[in-house]
Each structure stands twice: as structure tokens, then as C-alpha cells.
Amino acid sequence: MIIVIQCRDRVGLVASISALMARHQYNIISLGEHVDVAENLFFMRLEVDGNAADTIALEQELYAILPADALVKINPQPDKKIVVLVTKEYHCLADILVRNYFGTLGASVQCVIGNHDVLADVCRRFDIPFHHVSYEGQTKQQAEEQITALVQQSNPDYVVLAKFMRILSPVFNSLFPMRIINIHHSFLPAFVGANPYRQAFERGVKLIGATAHFVSNELDEGPIIAQQIIPVNHGYTAADMMSAGKEVETSVLAKALKLVFDDRVFVYNNKTVVIE
């Protein structure tokens, strides 16, 4: 059983929670916690072994011993549902589809939506529905309304932008607050927006990277989940950086999704606490 807790900090929280687990004969398998001293916030993720028959009563007992503003989740949905948005690049999508096929993703892919039809065939090979919504010949709002309708049909827990390369409107974002996960091909906050590898090449950087983050209404400024970098040098062209960066993008997105699906990520104040 997994228990996640977020609340105001105070002395004795870990002891009180541990004592409650003991009274219920729950063996604590793992316990991760963090205190943001500046904000006086407490975060905890527990894995316990024991009879999970009456989680409602346990939740009520936890609320009784926690500060009034506490947020508690017991056994969050173990198999999340996701919808993946793509354009033409296959590397992140292919990794998601392979993990989904072998049951190691931690979520189930309901469908893939692309603003080009380039990746329709790979989705068919994995027996995943693919929907093509072109932005050509219609306004951005019209295209986004079609995407919204398709996403809502699947009722996903999360929407994953696997190189979607389109800016979503505040209206769309408001439908899935802190539930849209994007992979950006730079080590944010450096090189936001379009063509970050070209920007990196022109700046002569010695490191490039990728960032997985939740989407907010500010471009590439949502809470960061995971990041990774690799070294480059003067011999790299922008195309070389892009090629090398694809491996990092795939790795970072996979790690971020695993963390989110395992309920290890807490979001607050446009940043995250990640309990690994």
C-alpha cells in the first residue's frame, strides 16, 4: 500500500504517522520524507505492508493526527491512463510504446494524437489508436478543440507531450492542471522555446541536456520533474547535438514518467519535491 502526505510541518509528524502504522500492524517497507524549512511544508511517501481493506478509516485517522490543511492519498490509482501527443519525431513515443507493450510503463496508453500522421504506423504496430489532427486548414483553436475532445474521451490521468512541439492554450492547460508532462530538449531554464540545439550551438555550450516538466501557461517554465545533461565540444554541429540529445530526451522523459506514475512527485510553488 502506498500513502502520500503533504501538509504544514510540525514537530513529531514522522513519529505520529509511524505510530499509527504500528497500531494497524502495517510494516513500513520504505519511508521517504522532506521538509521545506522556508515554506514550513512537510512531504512524505510511505510504502507499507498489511491489510489494506479499510483505507477510508485509515485516511480519516491520518487526517485526525495531521495539520488541518493536509492532503492525503492512500493507494493512488496504480495503473494510470495516459494520452500521448506527438508530431513527427519518434524516439520518445517509441520508448513509451515499448514500455507500455511490456507492462513496465506504470501506465496504460489509451491513444496517441498527432498533428502529422507520420507516426500512425508505429502506433498500429503496437495496437494503439492513433488520431490525426492537422493544424493545416483550420485555426489553432479549432485544432485544439478536436484534440481536447479526443483526450477527454479517454479520461486520462495524464497527458504526455512526447515531442508535440506545439504551444497549448491556457484553456487546454486548465482542463488538466499539473497533469500535462512535457519533454523539452534543453537543460532548462537555458534555451527555452524553439530550436534549443541551434541556440546551444550558437552559444558554444559545453553541455546539453533535456528537461521533463509539468506544463504551465508560461512557456517551458512549469515545475521541473527530471533533468539530465551530457558533454559536448567544439566539434559538435547543431545536428550532432540534436542527434545526441535525442537519447537524453528519451531517458529523461522515461524517468519522469516513472516518478510521476509511482506517486513520487509533489508539486508546489512552481517546483517539485521528488522522493526517490
Which residues lie closer than 8 Å to 110 by C-beta, 6 or more apart?
81, 82, 83, 129, 154, 156
pLDDT value, residue 225: 98
Which contacts of 22-30 are long-range, i.e. CB under 8 A and separated by 24 or more positions? 24/50, 24/58, 25/50, 25/51, 26/1, 26/50
pLDDT value, residue 162: 97
**Residue matched to cell numbers 510541518:** 9
**Cα distances (angstroms) measured from residue 20 to each of 49, 60, 64:** 13, 12, 11
Q: Residues with catalytic annotation?
A: 220
CA dist., res. 232 & res. 206, Å (int): 5
CA dist., res. 113 & res. 123, Å (int): 10
pLDDT value, residue 253: 98
pLDDT value, residue 219: 85
pLDDT value, residue 55: 84
Tens-place pLDDT, residues 117-152: 999 999 999 999 999 999 999 999 999 999 999 999
Residues shown for the chain: 276
Q: Which three cell numbers stand for residue 130?
A: 492513433
CA dist., res. 58 & res. 46, Å (int): 13
Name the residue ranges covered by the structural domains of the chain.
2-74, 80-274
The answer to whether the Cα torsion of 252, 253, 254, 256 is positive or negative is positive
Tens-place pLDDT, residues 33-68: 999 999 999 999 999 997 766 788 899 999 999 999
Which residues lie closer than 8 Å to 262 by C-beta, 6 or more apart?
106
Query: What DSSP string runs through 35-104?
Result: EETTTTEEEEEEEEES--TTHHHHHHHHHHHS-TT-EEEES--SSEEEEEEE-S--HHHHHHHHHHHTT-
Asked whether this chain's domains 2-74 and 80-274 adopt the same fold, the reply is: no
Say whether domain 80-274 belongs to CATH 3.40.50.170: yes
Task: Find, among 130, 157, 136, the residue nearest to 260 by Cα.
Answer: 157
Which stretches of the chain score pLDDT less than 50? none
- Whether 124 contacts 132, CB under 8 Å: no
pLDDT value, residue 77: 72
CA dist., res. 170 & res. 269, Å (int): 18
Topology given in CATH for the domain delimited by 2-74: Alpha-Beta Plaits (3.30.70)
Q: Which three cell numbers stand for residue 219?
A: 512557456
Quote the pTM value.
0.93
- Whether 194 contacts 154, CB under 8 Å: no
pLDDT value, residue 190: 83
